Amino acid sequence: MQKATYTRGQISAKTGCKLETVRYYEKAGLLPPTARSRSGYRLYAEEDARRLRFIRRCRELGFSISDIRDLLGIVDKRTYNCADIRAVTQVRIADVKGKISDLKKILKTLENMSAKCPSGTGKDCPILEALEK
Amino acid sequence: MQKATYTRGQISAKTGCKLETVRYYEKAGLLPPTARSRSGYRLYAEEDARRLRFIRRCRELGFSISDIRDLLGIVDKRTYNCADIRAVTQVRIADVKGKISDLKKILKTLENMSAKCPSGTGKDCPILEALEK
DNA sequence: CTTGACCCTGTACTTGATACAGACTTTATA
DNA sequence: TATAAAGTCTGTATCAAGTACAGGGTCAAG
């Protein structure tokens, strides 16, 4: 009984990772080199699909490729430590919080600037003045 | 009476734009090519400093280089329209709002994941399970 | 047998800088 | 005045995280 295999196009459709991105993840070391058909086509297994979905989910949550490499490295150890994964996640949470707070400041500034604009067609635009500080 | 001129290092210090970044902005078309000394050194004027500070401020507020090119294009017209500037700013505001909302969703997911983790050293990490979806 | 769809590799492009190599110029110090 | 140090010049490489070709080989259907 053979294991099911998929071509790159098939695994791409199956996981939602774009065709070229799959190759990119292989080159980036997130996906181990697959088996190849006699003519050199990559042959992906079910396990690769799971891994790709994991990577995709992590990317959606903003983990960097290098974060994901760390996470997968931890996972790939037969005996991993839950605390290690938690640590990576906590750093990510702090990062997201920081970004939200930065963006809120930026938003406030932009809205203040925009509010001063009489929405007219005149010159001496108050937005420009604010931008020149 | 000569106008004051600055070298790249001087204008960099004066505006807070890093040395190499000044050259980059020139290449990117945000800063017009400056006058040159006999030996080929760039000579910046007061006007360039104003322009660089404007660019820097825009970047701090997250405007892209191409946004800034647009803004400067509008400003450089002798007769600009305040509404045009307002339009660019409004798009930027919408963009920032979108990013904040995306990041909030991400944060919630990350925190939910992390909250399930018993912070222990066990296996079957609930964060991993959540990441595999 | 040929057409079209798929896959292969390697490379270039994107954004917004940053950094370096190797050469030249200017300034400061001895 | 000589020389060393600091500054500037150009062109190119690097980063992240892909995306998009070009120029080939391969596979299935008609």
Q: pLDDT by residue (tens digit) across B115-129?
A: 988 765 666 788 888
B38 within some domain:
yes
What does the pLDDT read at residue A45? 97
- Is the pLDDT at A123 greater than 70, yes or no? no
Residue with tokens 């037969």: A78
Give the pLDDT band of residue A82 (cuts 50, 70, 90).
Answer: confident
Tokens of A76: 């790939």
User: Strand A35-36 relative to strand A42-43: parallel, antiparallel, unpaired?
Assistant: antiparallel
pLDDT in tens, B51-93: 999 999 999 999 999 999 999 999 998 778 888 899 999 999 9
What does the pLDDT read at residue A53? 97
What chain A residue is nearest to B81 in terms of C-alpha separation?
Answer: A121
Amino acid at site A16: G
* Domain around B1: 1-62
What does the pLDDT read at residue B107? 97
B49 within some domain:
yes
Average pLDDT, chain A: 92
Q: To 10 degrees, what angle do helices B82-116 and B65-76 make?
A: 160
Question: Does nucleic acid strand C have an atom less than 7 angstroms from the CB of A21?
Answer: no
- Is the pLDDT at B26 greater than 70, yes or no? yes
- Is the pLDDT at A122 greater than 70, yes or no? no
Number of domains present in the structure of chain A: 2
pLDDT (average), residues B25-42:
97
**Alpha-carbon span B111 to B108, nearest angstrom:** 5
pLDDT in tens, A6-38: 999 999 999 999 999 999 999 999 999 999 999
- Degrees to nearest 5, angle at CA A19 with A14 and A22: 85
pLDDT (average), residues A110-130:
81
What does the pLDDT read at residue A6? 97
Interface test with B, best of A30, A125, A127, A129 (most B CBs within 10 A): A125
A15 within some domain:
yes
The answer to whether the Cβ–Cβ distance between A122 and B82 falls below 8 Å is yes
- Is the pLDDT at B109 greater than 90, yes or no? yes
**3-class secondary structure, B16:** coil
| Strand C bases contacted by the protein (CB, 7 Å) | 6-9, 15-20, 24-26
- Is the pLDDT at B106 greater than 80, yes or no? yes
The answer to whether the Cβ–Cβ distance between A131 and B97 falls below 8 Å is no
* Same domain assignment for residues B1 and B52: yes
Interface test with B, best of A59, A77, A89, A104 (most B CBs within 10 A): A89
What does the pLDDT read at residue A132? 82
Interface subset of B 21-40, CB within 8 angstroms of A = none
Among A9-23, A62-76, B11-25, B74-88, the least confident range: B74-88
* Protein-to-nucleotide distance from the CA of A55 to the C1' of D22, whole angstroms: 29
Looking at residue B3, the DSSP 8-state letter turns out to be P
* Same domain assignment for residues B56 and B99: no
The answer to whether the Cβ–Cβ distance between A92 and B99 falls below 8 Å is no
B70 within some domain:
no
* Same domain assignment for residues A2 and A57: yes
A79 within some domain:
no
A72 within some domain:
no
Q: Does A71 touch chain B (CB under 8 A)?
A: yes
Q: Does B75 touch chain A (CB under 8 A)?
A: yes
* Rounded (10°) CA dihedral A94, A85, B126, B106: 30
* Same domain assignment for residues A57 and A107: no
Domain boundary among A39, A62, A85: A62
* Same domain assignment for residues B88 and B39: no
Higher pLDDT, B110 or A83: B110
Domain boundary among A45, A62, A79: A62
Q: Does B121 touch chain A (CB under 8 A)?
A: yes
We report the CATH number of the domain holding residue A23 as 1.10.1660.10
* Same domain assignment for residues B17 and B57: yes
Higher pLDDT, A78 or B126: B126
What does the pLDDT read at residue A76? 92
* Same domain assignment for residues A57 and A6: yes
Q: Give residue B108's Cα distance to chain centre.
A: 27
- Is the pLDDT at A128 greater than 90, yes or no? no
